[in-house]
């Protein structure tokens, strides 16, 4: 306990001496002529003046030593400074005389003889054309039908119509007219549910002796049924005069009316063909 107190006293004394020394040096730095500064500038000046006063008496005037390197009568000769060198004047270059460029004389080149225009072969039109086409809505099947007439307007029997679905490999089928010139084809049965929920693109044209005999006619059929959830149900027999279901207001939320019940939809395409005269 006693040693701790002694240590505290010694540390306090050292700290006090340190602070006192710092204050002393700071005071000397700010005011160097303070009385307790042994090396103050004022005291040093007084000591220097006392030493100068103690030196011997007048040493007499100081005589300048004359430089004896040259005689006293020698006068340096001035050196003439050369004047500026005159720059030679540029010699003017004569302007070249412009030589007239001779004008080229156009030489007449005879044109090659004009050849007669090449005759463009006129393609032979197909013997059959589409006379008319229409469509019907149907809630049973998707199909194709029509009539093929001769140049006299009478129906022709035994004429073939090739048809198929566009973009489906191997979709090539034939339908043949009967004695009344009528033909018909079942495209998609209503029982084929996945296919009857979608639209399909088709083609059809006349075939005569294995060769195409008309332009290709393309058409699209609409779905038969709406792709509704199972809880919606269907009523294929309850249609009004406008082709709209009288129970349409009874459809549950999320259910759609079947497209076949709209008179503007196409489930059966009717294409009538006519043979050109003179074939």
Predicted confidence (pLDDT) per residue in 189-220, tens digit: 999 989 999 999 999 999 998 899 999 999 99
233 to 195, 223, 260: CA distances (angstroms): 18, 16, 15
What pLDDT score was predicted for residue 48? 82
Q: What is the C-alpha separation between 245 and 265, in angstroms, rounded?
A: 14
**Can you tell me the distance from the alpha carbon of 143 to that of 165, in angstroms, rounded to the nearest whole number?**
12
Q: What pLDDT shows up at residue 228? A: 87
Report the length, in residues, of the chain. Answer: 279
In words, the CATH class of domain 128-275 is mainly beta
Asked if 145 and 184 count as a contact pair (C-beta separation under 8 A), the reply is: yes
- Kindly state the DSSP code that residue 46 receives in the 8-state scheme: H
What was the pLDDT predicted at 42? Answer: 78
Pairwise pLDDT comparison (10 vs 110), residue with the higher score: 10
DSSP state of 119: P
pTM check: above 0.85: no
CB neighbours (10 Å) of residue 261? 25
User: Which pLDDT tens digit goes with each residue over 239-257?
Assistant: 443 444 444 457 788 898 9
pLDDT at 242: 44
In the predicted model, is pLDDT for residue 221 greater than 80? yes
Q: What percent of the chain has pLDDT over 90?
A: 44
Domain boundaries, the chain: 128-275
Per-residue model confidence as pLDDT tens digits over 16-69: 999 988 888 888 888 777 777 777 787 788 878 888 887 765 555 555 555 555
Q: Tell me: pLDDT of 187 over 50.
A: yes
pLDDT higher than 90, residue 279: no
Three-state secondary structure along 9-71? HHHHHHHHHHHHHHHHHHHHHHCCCCCCCCCCHHHHHHHHHHHHHCCCCCCCCCCCCCCCCCC
SS3 89: coil
Neighbours of 256 (CB within 10 A): 12
**For residues 210 and 208, what is the distance between their CA atoms, to the nearest angstrom?**
5
pLDDT at position 61, please?
56
Q: Which helix (H) or strand (E) holds 53?
A: helix 41-53
Mean of the per-residue pLDDT values of the chain = 81
Of the listed ranges 2-6, 8-12, 263-267, the one predicted with least confidence: 2-6
Nearest-angstrom CA–CA distance, 255 and 250? 10
Per mean pLDDT, which range of 207-221, 230-244, 261-275 is the poorest?
A: 230-244
Q: What is the pLDDT of residues 89-137, one digit of tens each?
A: 555 665 666 666 666 666 667 777 777 777 777 778 999 999 999 999 9
């Amino acid at each position: 306990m006693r040693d701790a107190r002694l240590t505290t006293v010694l540390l306090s004394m050292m700290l006090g001496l340190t602070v006192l020394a710092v204050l002393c040096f700071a005071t000397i730095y700010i005011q160097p002529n303070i009385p307790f500064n042994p090396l103050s500038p004022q005291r040093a000046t007084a000591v220097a003046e006392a030493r100068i006063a103690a030196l011997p008496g007048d040493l007499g005037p100081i005589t300048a030593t004359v430089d004896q390197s040259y005689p006293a009568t020698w006068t340096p000769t001035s050196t003439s400074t050369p004047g500026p060198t005159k720059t030679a004047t540029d010699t003017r270059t004569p302007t070249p005389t412009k030589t007239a460029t001779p004008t080229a004389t156009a030489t007449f080149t005879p044109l090659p003889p004009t050849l007669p225009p090449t005759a463009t072969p006129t393609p032979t039109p197909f013997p059959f054309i589409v006379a008319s086409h229409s469509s019907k809505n149907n809630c049973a099947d998707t199909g194709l039908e029509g009539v093929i007439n001769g140049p006299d307007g009478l129906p022709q029997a035994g004429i073939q119509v090739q048809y198929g679905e566009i973009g489906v490999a191997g979709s090539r089928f034939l339908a043949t007219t009967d004695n009344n010139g009528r033909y018909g084809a079942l495209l998609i049965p209503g029982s084929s549910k996945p296919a009857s929920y979608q639209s399909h693109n088709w083609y059809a044209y006349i075939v005569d002796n294995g060769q195409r005999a008309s332009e290709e006619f393309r058409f699209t059929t609409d779905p038969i049924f709406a792709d509704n959830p199972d809880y919606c149900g269907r009523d294929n027999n309850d249609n009004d005069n406008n082709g709209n279901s009288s129970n349409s207001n009874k459809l549950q939320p999320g259910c759609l009316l079947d497209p076949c019940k709209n008179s503007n939809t196409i489930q059966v395409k009717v294409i009538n063909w006519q043979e050109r005269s003179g074939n």
